[in-house]
Every structure is written in structure tokens, then in C-alpha cells.
Amino acid sequence: MDEKSRKPEDTPFKQQKLKAWQPILTPNWVIGTFAVVGLIFIPIGIVLHTESDNVVEYSIQYDGEGVTESSNIVDIGDGCYLSDEDEGDTFDVDTHGCRITFKIEKEMKAPVYLYYQLDNFYQNHRRYVQSRSDAQLRGDATASTSDCSPLTTTGTGISKYNSTEETAIGGNDTDYTLMPCGLIANSLFNDIFWVNKLVADGTTYYQNDTYEGKTLVNLVDQTGIAWKSDVETKFKNIDLADLSDADNTMLLWQNPRYRYIIPMYEGQEPIANKTAWTTAAPAYGVQDEHFIVWMRTAGLPSFRKLYGRIDTDLAEGTELEFLVSSNFVVSTFEGKKSIVISTTSWFGGRNPFLGIAYIIVGALCMVLAILFFAKHKLSPRKLGDTRYLLTRHFHFKMLASRYELLEKIGNGAFGEVHRAKDLVSGEIRAIKRLRVNDDGHLAVVPAAQFQEIETMRQLQHPNLMDVVPDGSYIALVLEYMPTDLLSHNILHRDIKPGNLLLSADGVLKLSDFGLATVFVGQEGQNDLDQIFRVIQVLGDIEKQWPGVRELPDFNKVSFPSYEPMPLNKLFPDAKASAVDLLSKLLVLDPSKRLSARKALVHDFFFEGPVRSRFSFQAYMKQRKAEDLHEAED
């Protein structure tokens, strides 16, 4: 099987070569970013806070933990406070009711929304949220009730009624199947609110009086309070003809806790101060909008749900009185009940936190921008200099104005090395031009090159003369050294951090030549001939190393297609282990070449090293003699 059969296509996406962008956080960019964010956030925060302040909102708690006596609340009977569960679900305003008065101190423009608010009620509890049957709510009579666990039946002791009828239609000895089932559907908020009295411009209006073209008791419109998508697609009453066991089923309007909230049929007339609807019911069962609003669970334990809206302006000085029938018990979970009226703005209800948050974040960004600006001006960081961000508009003249490039003396993966003349001092320098990554818009210095510059800067080496931006390069100006160990046919063979020494003045010195090897020189007549000789031995380089085409200057030279020469024929006297090790070390493809770790455990090193046939001392004597001979000439 072809070993490359599973190789992905050679496309930028599949080879992970897509162009990427990463911001370089220089001081100017950081300062500018913080300043821009601050300048944007502060005005937005001011606008949001102003709009929030323009929302007129009044809230009065009438039941639950911490409720206090108030001139705005007048009790009827035992009042709206329900001390235990036995006092709930009476639907008798004369027993558990109250009158709540809102004094409008600032004009409220229509629409004015009426909410009920619950505190410490965790509708977001996982078990509570999951206890529902969406299929059943959509009108499927055969839907499974398993999702409604733990509440699918009523248990015994509960009678069922037909909406507001006084006579039970089923005994309390039957365990009725709830429809709809589940914790959410069967914990419906069932307090009832009516507009009882309104005082405007010195005139008092009562429930049956006409105000702004409406009977006062109908001032609150209870339609259009649920999401349109919920009303149209998620809630539909089950056809009673589809019920297989209607006698043992308790529908929503048959439940004694909800029969005064949910009508039995569309158009059912209200009973004054008894039912939740004040006009003929526009919908019934699970399609009632109060029920639909409740079924959309809240994410926090303190929440508001829309009860209705008033489509009439409420002028300053108006008094609006609600009659409340208290049925929903909150004392069992230390909760609270409140009634709220509020206007809205273009971004919703009153929410001072959002505007304050924007202002605080914006102010913090501005403070940070000022601090970073002061730090940058008083104590700038060299590597944060924008000179290291090079665009295409930098020209070679920045380098040419000081140095004259004489010849290229080296080339590598990160750039080129040139011999150059300092036009000011006349001295010869070595200029290392580090290649910069260029995405077509912004040239960015790689981290490795920054590391090289920073390391040499910290050493404060006197031979690092300058750092110059140069088009798509950064040029390091160094001391020019005309020769190196390799040109003297010396391999050090033990270069490691411990052998790179620093003097007290920061001068770098190379030590420990104990493992150095001296060789007689290259076999080729020149560098190019030497490369050809290497290829003749190792074989066709492109067949063995596909990535060689990406190397600098590869296309400048073409090589014949040679077959690899067997190393055991080149070194007939060498041990088999030595030939094997050499063949693995001379693999052209670096990804397939034997690593140093694996080479150290090769069999060759356990058979004993081969002594070098060269004498280093003899070689040095020969070199000194040659140097003296050249000096005499």
C-alpha cells in the first residue's frame, strides 16, 4: 500500500497553511485600544443609564418574607399575606385580599406594563425545568407523560370542577391524570389583579365607570402578553374526543387551583372579583396567555412575568388602585410577591446596572490608557518600539545611509549575512539581515528573532553595533570576523552552554576543544563542487526530501538524478555498526534522520570508539608554519 495514500490534499486549508493574523501588542496599540474602548464605552454607558432613569417604575410587595405595613396597602379580610399553605387557593377576595394603590409621581406614557414579581422561586432548577411534556402541550393526546416526573397525577383527595362551576364533577377518591402534567404547569401563579379605582384630575373612577373609553375594570389588557411563536406553535388544547379516559383525567380548567384563572372555553364570561379575565375569555386551557407566560421559565430566582398592559397614559398625580385576590402561597419557600407597573425604553425595562457597568469599564480603560501612556513616555521599552513593525513602505535607504553592503558571505533559514563597510568610521562590519514574515500587509518579526536581539542586548555585547529596520528585514550590525573554525578544518564537536563562557566585560569565548577533530579539507574544488560530491554519494535529494524545495536558493542549482552509493563500499574497512549509524545520520530528510538521543544508544557506541588518525598537535604546528611562511611572503 502506498504510504502516502492518506496524505491530505496539498491545499492551504488541509495542510494548515492558511494565512493568520495576530495582533502585536506594542505600547501604542495597547494605549490606543484602551483609549478607544474607553471613549466608546463611557458615552454608551451614559446613554444607557439615562434611558434607564427615564423608565418610570413602581413596585409594591404585598406578601411574603419581610412584607411590612404600608399606607399603599389596605387589607380586606385577613389581607394578602398567606401564612401557610392552607390559606391559599381560596379565590375569595373578601377573605384573602387587599387594595394596593400606586401614586404616580412622574407621568407614565403608554403602554404601561403590569407585572407580578416572585423572589426566591427557583424556576431554573433542573428537575423543575425538565418536568413538562412539550408534545402534550402541543395537543398530542397520546404523548408520554414520563418527562413530567415527578408530577403526573393528582393523588387522591382532590375533586375536579368545570371552571367556575360550584359543584364538583368528580369525587376526591380518584387519582386523576394531570393534563397538562409536570411541575411547571401545576405550579401556575394564580393571584388575580383588577383595576378597582382610579383618581385623575380630582375625579374618582370605580370598576364599572368608563375611563378613556374603557370600563375601568377592563383597563388592563391581558392579551398579547405571550411570545407570538409560543402562542402559534407550542400550545394547543387537546381535542376532548381524543381522550381515551376523560373521566380519570383532570384538565387545566378542572383543577381547583386554576379553574378561576384558566377558562373552560373561549368566550366564557367572567365572574366579578373572582376570575382572572375581566372580559369574555379570548382563549382557554393551555392556550390562555397567562399560562403560556408562566411556562416560559425564568433563569434567576427573582423574576417578573407580564400580567397585562395599560394602553393609556397615566398623568402625574394619578392614583391607580388594584384589587388583589391572594391565592399563591410563598411562605413555604420564604418567597416574596410584588406587583409592579412600569414603562419601557428602546432597550427594555429599567436596568441601571448595564449603564453603570459600561461607564465603569470605560473609565477603567481610560485610566489604564493614561497609565500606559505615562509609562511609555517616562520609561519606554526598546522591544516595544514600533520600528520592529515594518510595512512595505520602509525603504532600503535606512540601511544604505550608514552601511555599504560589499558581498554576501552567508545564507540561512532566518536570513542572510553580508560583509559591509561603515560609511562613518570606515570599518568593516558583518550585517545579519533577519528575514521578516510578511502577510502582504504587515511584516512581523518572529519570536525567535526577537529572542536573539533581546539576548544580545542583555549581554551588552560591544560587537552588537546597531539594529536597523531594512524593508522586509531587520539588520543586526556585528563585528566582522573574516574566518571561522570550519575554514580551518576544525570541528569543535562539543558546543554546549557550559563551553560558552562570558568574561567580566561580557565577551563571549569558546572553550573545551578536547573532542575537537581536525580534517584535511573538503574533497571538492569549491563549495558547489562539494555539494555535488555529497549528492553523488547520498542520491537524488528531491526523492528523499520533498521539503527541500522550500529552502533558500534551492532553485538556483539543479542536480542530476543520482542513485545512492552503498556506504559499505565507500568504507569497506568500517564496522557494520558504524556504517549503519552513518547511514541513519546522513538521511537527507531531517524528519527521518536519526535523533541525537537515539544515536547515543546505537550499538556502535557500545563496541568502542574509533581513534582519530589525525594529530591535533601536529596539525597546529603545520598551521603555524604556514602562517609564518605567509607572513614572510
Q: Is 285 within 8 Å of 262 (Cβ atoms)?
A: yes
Give me the residues paired with residue 325 across strands. Answer: 97, 192
CA separation for the pair 507, 498 (Å, rounded): 15
b/e per residue 515-543 (b: at least 16 CB within 10 A) = eeebeeeeeeeeeeeeebebbeebeebee
Q: Is 170 within 8 Å of 247 (Cβ atoms)?
A: yes
In the numeric block, which cell numbers belong to residue 125?
432548577
CA separation for the pair 360, 628 (Å, rounded): 79
CA atoms within 13 A on the CB side of 387: 13
Give me the residues paired with residue 502 across strands. Answer: 508
3-state DSSP assignment of residue 529: helix
Q: Is 574 within 8 Å of 568 (Cβ atoms)?
A: yes
Give me the residues paired with residue 132 across strands. Answer: none
Q: Is 432 within 8 Å of 415 (Cβ atoms)?
A: yes
Question: Cβ of 73: how many Cβ atoms within 10 Å?
Answer: 21
Assign 3-state DSSP to the chain and report helix, strand, coil percentages, each to 5: 30, 20, 45
Amino acid at 339: I
- Per DSSP, 471 falls in state T
DSSP 32-54: HHHHHHHHHHHHHHHHHHHHHHH
Closest CA to 132 of 182, 85, 174: 182
Q: Is 120 within 8 Å of 65 (Cβ atoms)?
A: yes
CA separation for the pair 227, 286 (Å, rounded): 14
Sequence-ordered strand ranges (E) for 343-392: 389-390
In the numeric block, which cell numbers belong to residue 359?
461607564
Q: Is 91 within 8 Å of 313 (Cβ atoms)?
A: no
Q: Which residues contact 616 (CB under 8 A, 6 or more apart)?
A: 513, 516, 518
Could you check whether the bond before residue 150 is cis, i.e. omega within 30 degrees of 0? yes
CA separation for the pair 441, 70 (Å, rounded): 69
In the numeric block, which cell numbers belong to residue 211?
375611563
CA separation for the pair 586, 125 (Å, rounded): 67
197 is in an annotated binding site: no
DSSP 382-436: GGG-GGGEE-TT--THHHHTTEEEEEEEEE-SSEEEEEEEETTT--EEEEEEEE-
Annotated binding site for ATP: 432
Annotated binding site: 432
